[in-house]
Every structure is written in structure tokens, then in C-alpha cells.
């Protein structure tokens, strides 16, 4: 007697009984490639078959019901139409619930394809970006079950069906904005157009936006634009001692980084938010943007962001091949003495800078020259960015969050997970 065979049959019968016994589950659903509902029961997929006479029950058949080579699975599933509540499972036969092995990736792949289909309509991401977004949280083995070519064709078909342009615009004036996103004047055919995005309800507290952060230094920008510009505003919590929070309130796509473009952007903001009159702006060191702010918001204080000051400093170290030396603890302390100038009284900056010139090693001379040219200057040769613009001394004493570091990193993380696409 073949005991192994008998043991295998008994195991199959036990599995079958367990499947039938579980009759109180809500059956989850996924979408097929054609957008139809598919029921999931113990990892197997079922297609809609028919309903009973009063249409209260939905009958399902295994998705391998029409399998090739005569291997047609006869497994069936019954659910309630109103709630997808499990009612009954009919196995393929008295021994096997199904006459085929379970595909461990099938359900996950179906969910990913459904999500890609939805995001194809909601976003303008490229097919590879859509796929990467879904694979981030999926098992590694799933990647081999998804064809990049098939995903690309799927996205193209979906967008054509929904009248979404599948060819990326080469010019700013040719960018087409979906109807669902046209909650503003789109400036069609304007070669100097600025696209401004934001939640409509933010106008309700625009008058409260007194401390504002402006940032245009993100490395990812969708073609054909040259810059992503973000406006963040500080807001006090609605509960006592709840602290203050910073929220992104506006996003803009700019064609270039010229002063006229920035002026146009800031005037657009003032037009859509008439009560928007910040007491101060914290900005990156983009001279054209600073000058535009001074023109459009002359009553506001403009302060350079310490995060971007530090970023420019490290870029200078890199340009002078000092990154490796900067890893040395002693040299790092000496180099950062230059940045400490941001925290001394503004009137003492020139004297402290002169002392550093005499104290610091010759290796840092190029960095000192850069800092003098752009941030310190002399009486006869003013710097590009005056001391009062980047000094954090008064802001620190007043308890202001002048660095913008955490806000910038948080926003950057959201933007730069994937490459941008209009």
C-alpha cells in the first residue's frame, strides 16, 4: 500500500475542509487588466460568472476555468452582492480545491497593474516611474513578473483612452493641463507662462502667513520647465502650547530663473491671495528672486536661509578639492569657523573675518576669498549678499527658525524620490 499517496490525499481533503469551513470572511477584490472585479480567495483569483435570480448572490469561477490542455478548473465561489461576504466555496473535486498550483505573485501583480492604471490617469509620470513607485513596497520577486514593455503599452493605451497627451511637450506654451487641474487661469499659448498650484482653501489663512520660506533649489524639474519653486508658510497650532508647523502652500513651475519671471510669479501670488502680506521671507541665495521679492513685497524682511548658506559653503569646498580634507576633525572645525560668522553680531563680522584670515591654514584661502566676495566684502567693494541678509544672530536671539533646514529636507524628500514629469 502506498502510504505516501494516502497521506497526500488526506492532506488535500483536510485542506479542502478548511477552505469550506471559512465562511465568515469579506472577500477582497482586485481589478483585472480590463478593469473588471476579480475575487481573491486563499490566494486564488476568481472571475465573475453570474448572479442568482434575485441578484443577491454573486457566483464566481476560477480564473483558470478556461485553462488550456483540458486543465479546466471547476472551483467556484459564492458571495453576497451587497457586501462581498463569503457564502460558499465549491472545490474542483472531492480531493483538490483547485486542479492547479497557486501563483504566489498573481494577486500582487494584479494589484500593481490596477494601481498603475489609476496613477496613469491621475499623474503624468512616465511608465518607468509608475512601475518604480509600485515596486518600492512589493516583494523583490514581483519585478520579474512585470514586463516594462507591457507596462509602457498599458499606460499608453489608458492615456489615449482618457484623452491624455502621451507625447511630452517641448515648449512651456504647449503644456496641456488636464481639465481636473484647471482651477486657475492656464495662460494657454503664453511662452512666458508660470504654472502655479495650490489648495484653494489655503486662501482662508493667507493673511496669517507671516513667516514664509521660499525654495527653488530642487534638483528635479519636469521638462520643459527650468525650476520647481515652493512656498512654505509657518502656522501656529490651534491648541494651546501646540507649537508651530510649516506647510507647503504653493508650488510653481518656472521657465527660467530670471528676475522678470520671479516678479511675475510673486505678482500672481499677490493677485490670487490679496491678504498675503508676510512679515518675513526666508530665501535661498538666488539674487534674481531676492530682487523680485524686494520689488513686489517691499515691506517684508528678506533673510537668507542658513541651510542654503551652508550648502553653498560645502559646494565651495568641493570646487576646491577640499572634501576629503573636510573629513579630518581638526580641519573640519577650522573650516566651520567660517560659517560661525553667521552667528556673531553683524557689526563684528568684518573684524572676525580678518582674524580668521590670519588664523586659518592656507588651504582655506580659496574658501575665504569666495566668502569675502559673496558674503562679507569691504567698504569699497560690497558683497553680492549683504551681511544683514544672511546673518542669523538677531534671528537666533529672537527664537526664530531661520535656518529652514528641516522644512527644506522634508519637502525635498517628497519631491526627489522619483524623477519629475509634467
Q: Is the pLDDT of residue 188 over 50?
A: no
Within this chain, do residues 156 and 177 fall inside the same structural domain, yes or no? no
Domain count for the chain, please give it. Answer: 4
Give the per-residue pLDDT at 129: 84
Closest CA to 372 of 390, 354, 388, 391: 354
Within this chain, do residues 85 and 117 fall inside the same structural domain, yes or no? no
Give the per-residue pLDDT at 182: 56
Residues 6+ positions from 165 with CB-CB distance below 8 Å: 159, 176
The tens digit of pLDDT for each residue in 231-282 reads 999 988 666 666 788 999 999 989 899 999 999 999 999 999 999 999 999 9
Give the per-residue pLDDT at 141: 75
DSSP H or E stretch at residue 229: strand 227-236
Looking at the domain assignment, is residue 99 inside a domain? no
CA separation, residue 197 to residues 252, 272, 399 (Å): 6, 11, 31
Within this chain, do residues 67 and 139 fall inside the same structural domain, yes or no? no
DSSP one-letter string for 370-413: HHIIIII--SSS--SS-HHHH--HHHHHTT---S-HHHHHHHHH
Within this chain, do residues 177 and 265 fall inside the same structural domain, yes or no? yes
Percent of the chain with pLDDT over 70: 79
Top pLDDT among 177 and 402 is at 177
Question: pLDDT band at residue 397, thresholds of 50, 70 and 90?
Answer: confident
Three-state SS for 305?
coil
The tens digit of pLDDT for each residue in 352-388 reads 999 999 999 999 999 999 999 999 988 788 999 999 9
pTM: 0.59
C-alpha cell at 384: 553680492
Contact assessment for residue 396 and residue 343, using Cβ atoms and an 8 Å cutoff: yes
Q: Tell me, what CATH number does 211's domain have?
A: 3.30.420
Within this chain, do residues 266 and 326 fall inside the same structural domain, yes or no? no
The tens digit of pLDDT for each residue in 70-118 reads 568 989 999 999 888 888 898 888 778 888 888 888 888 888 888 888 8
Give the per-residue pLDDT at 157: 85
Looking at the domain assignment, is residue 130 inside a domain? yes
Within this chain, do residues 290 and 315 fall inside the same structural domain, yes or no? no
| Residue-number span of the structural domain to which 11 is assigned | 3-90
Amino acid at each position: 500500500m502506498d502510504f505516501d499517496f494516502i497521506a497526500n490525499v488526506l492532506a488535500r481533503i483536510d485542506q479542502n475542509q478548511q477552505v469550506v469551513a471559512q465562511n465568515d470572511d469579506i472577500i477582497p477584490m482586485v481589478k483585472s487588466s480590463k478593469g473588471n472585479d476579480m475575487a481573491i480567495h486563499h490566494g486564488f483569483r476568481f472571475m465573475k460568472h453570474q448572479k442568482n435570480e434575485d441578484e443577491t448572490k454573486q457566483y464566481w469561477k476560477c480564473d483558470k476555468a478556461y485553462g488550456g490542455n483540458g486543465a479546466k478548473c471547476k472551483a467556484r465561489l459564492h458571495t453576497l452582492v451587497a457586501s462581498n461576504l463569503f457564502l460558499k466555496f465549491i472545490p474542483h473535486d472531492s480531493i483538490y480545491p483547485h486542479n492547479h498550483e497557486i501563483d504566489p505573485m498573481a494577486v500582487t501583480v494584479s494589484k500593481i497593474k490596477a494601481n498603475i492604471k489609476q496613477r496613469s490617469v491621475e499623474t503624468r509620470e512616465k511608465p518607468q516611474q509608475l512601475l518604480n513607485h509600485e515596486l518600492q513596497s512589493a516583494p523583490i520577486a514581483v519585478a520579474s513578473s512585470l514586463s516594462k514593455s507591457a507596462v509602457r503599452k498599458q499606460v499608453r493605451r489608458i492615456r489615449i483612452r482618457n484623452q491624455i497627451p502621451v507625447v511630452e511637450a517641448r515648449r512651456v506654451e504647449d503644456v496641456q493641463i488636464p481639465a481636473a487641474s484647471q482651477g486657475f487661469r492656464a495662460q494657454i499659448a503664453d511662452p512666458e507662462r508660470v504654472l502655479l498650484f495650490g489648495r484653494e482653501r489655503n486662501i482662508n489663512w493667507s493673511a496669517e502667513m507671516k513667516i514664509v520660506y521660499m525654495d527653488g533649489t530642487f534638483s528635479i524639474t519636469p521638462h520643459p520647465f527650468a525650476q520647481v519653486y515652493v512656498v512654505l508658510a509657518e502656522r501656529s497650532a490651534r491648541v494651546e502650547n501646540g507649537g508651530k508647523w510649516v506647510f507647503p502652500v504653493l508650488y510653481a513651475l518656472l521657465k527660467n530663473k530670471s528676475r522678470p519671471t520671479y516678479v511675475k510669479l510673486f505678482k500672481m501670488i499677490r493677485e490670487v491671495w490679496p491678504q498675503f502680506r508676510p512679515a518675513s521671507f526666508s530665501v535661498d541665495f538666488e539674487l534674481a528672486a531676492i530682487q523680485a521679492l524686494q520689488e513686489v513685497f517691499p515691506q517684508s524682511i528678506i533673510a537668507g536661509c542658513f541651510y542654503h548658506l551652508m550648502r553653498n559653503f560645502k559646494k565651495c569646498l568641493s570646487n576646491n578639492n577640499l572634501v576629503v580634507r573636510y573629513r579630518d576633525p581638526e580641519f573640519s572645525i577650522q573650516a566651520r569657523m567660517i560659517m560661525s560668522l553667521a552667528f556673531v553680531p553683524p557689526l563684528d563680522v568684518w573684524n572676525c573675518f580678518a582674524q580668521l584670515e590670519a588664523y586659518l591654514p592656507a588651504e582655506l584661502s580659496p574658501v575665504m576669498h569666495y566668502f569675502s566676495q559673496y558674503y562679507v566684502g569691504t567698504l569699497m567693494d560690497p558683497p553680492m549678499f549683504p551681511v544683514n541678509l544672511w546673518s542669523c544672530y538677531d534671528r537666533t536671539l529672537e527664537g526664530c527658525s531661520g535656518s529652514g533646514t528641516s522644512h527644506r529636507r522634508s519637502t525635498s524628500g517628497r519631491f526627489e524620490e522619483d524623477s519629475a514629469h509634467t
